[in-house]
Structure 1
């Protein structure tokens, strides 16, 4: 092979090999299938052999393709290790700490989770981005992020190259303005039946767990609003438009910041939190600080 490999093309090959199809790789990489297909053709032409063959609707690695995948696995693993070592090296001037946050998470608890990173000796420059977990995980797998914070673990199937680190869990606390507390607190949770309530949308795991819980209790609130953004839930709750829930771990902060009161609590529904990184064994000092504090302080109860 007379020419050097284009490592972007190799990355596309690596993704298709692990995802099993160009369509799935397109979603994980956020690149059009046409682009991936074209780049794979260039890579095969440069290598002088076919890397995939079609079996029905699926792409299956050829013998040369299996050999190429072994090398690609090693290449991207070494690339990640180099990135981690350089970021955590005391002699390196890189202090950026890039965190992706699932858009569904309450910002108050995200702040508590991330805050310990600022206390590490060398200091950090936090760069935070927010969005759907699928897009954040794609950036994490390509080392554009150091960590993703989510309330659901990702499926660590072969090829994802990301790992879940459980931080802890919290029960739910329900809040409302004083008038709602006076009416609903004495017979909580039965009082939630036909009560106005503000909820996260059904795409979020905590909403699904909440729905299962109230249905098991034969409680059917009056859903007056559903939101992707937890900040909007709290803002409308502050205005007295309905009851809302947040993790019990931030109950005091919610009451102080939004002028609402606790109506009731339950530990029958648990809101779980995860740090997701590209490291099986964490070495990044900021991620280490976050995991340690979350497990010993924030969610210790």
Structure 2
């Protein structure tokens, strides 16, 4: 059985890994280079593997060293989160850390965050793919993840909060929507589809039932780009109204009066925690 890990040694290793040099790390930690070298050797002995290769005057992480650095950063991040969390419980304040899937509508994100915008605590918002965001949620680097599709490997550690279900409609310049029925519109129009597989397959299946093969002008994984393309006349957007809410409000775009029987669903994902960020109580459904 491996001996208990000494986190003091791990902190020294982290400093050396980040500096790439014993001398710089020793100066940062205010210890002697020989003492720091001894701490690193002790940690290597505990782990049973070398952590660095000496290259010229510097140090490069071995494969085990890279693994150890990844774990060390997660451990220290969790420690920082513990301090921040308990600080919040005692009246302190930390920013709400929000992850949003890169394809998610910016308008929807703004609407979700509206109740806490302008607070002194502030918001840190990051976009990435769902897998990366959920991984950061699990290491406590994020407080909540916004997505249109909940993670398949949710497990018991994650909570899925349904936020909204919005009908998907056809939107475009008003002068391009003067068709007598949906079948004619689908036969004569060119369409911009989001990369959401549910919307795409549902729209194409609808066309097949009508005996129409709609022309797809573009498939786009960025809702902001869909807004730009439909404004520029590249096609008609097949999206929830929230995506083009500003353009609809200004009259630049209109919505075709035909139901598609398609819907987009929005979810928030959080980790089961004893001390969640207090702002989440205002944002998530009871």
TM range (shorter): 0.5 to 0.7
SS in 1 for 2:261: strand
CA 291–190 in structure 1, closer or farther in 2 if over 3 Å, else same: farther
Instruction: Give the CA deviation at 1:153.
Output: 0.9
| Other-structure match for 2:185 | 191
Distance 1:84 1:149 in 2: 22
Superposition TM-score, scaled by structure 1 size: 0.63
* Cα pair 2:223 2:243 within 8 Å, conserved: no
Distance 2:269 2:247 in 1: 26
Distance 1:141 1:232 in 2: 30
| Other-structure match for 2:64 | none
Distance 1:127 1:245 in 2: 30
Does residue 98 (structure 1) correspond to residue 97 (structure 2)? The answer is yes
SS in 1 for 2:233: coil
* Cα pair 1:175 1:244 within 8 Å, conserved: yes
Distance 1:204 1:282 in 2: 36
Distance 2:197 2:123 in 1: 26
Does residue 243 (structure 1) correspond to residue 236 (structure 2)? The answer is yes
| Other-structure match for 1:138 | 135
Runs of 4+ in 1 over 6 A off after TM superposition: 42-45, 78-81
Instruction: Give the CA deviation at 1:193.
Output: 2.2
Instruction: Give the CA deviation at 1:117.
Output: 2.4
- Superposed, 1:83-232 pairs within 5 Å as 85-86=85-86, 88-92=88-92, 94-118=93-117, 123-158=120-155, 161-182=157-178, 184=179, 186-201=180-195, 204-232=197-225
Superposition TM-score, scaled by structure 2 size: 0.65
* Cα pair 1:169 1:273 within 8 Å, conserved: yes
RMSD after superposition: 3.6
* Cα pair 1:163 1:280 within 8 Å, conserved: no
Distance 2:212 2:84 in 1: 49
CA 141–196 in structure 1, closer or farther in 2 if over 3 Å, else same: same
Distance 1:263 1:170 in 2: 15
- Superposed, 1:66-85 pairs within 5 Å as 82=82, 85=85
CA 149–212 in structure 1, closer or farther in 2 if over 3 Å, else same: farther
CA 44–261 in structure 1, closer or farther in 2 if over 3 Å, else same: same
Distance 1:206 1:280 in 2: 33
SS in 2 for 1:134: helix
CA 142–237 in structure 1, closer or farther in 2 if over 3 Å, else same: same
Instruction: Give the CA deviation at 1:151.
Output: 0.4
The size of the alignment, in residue pairs, is 227
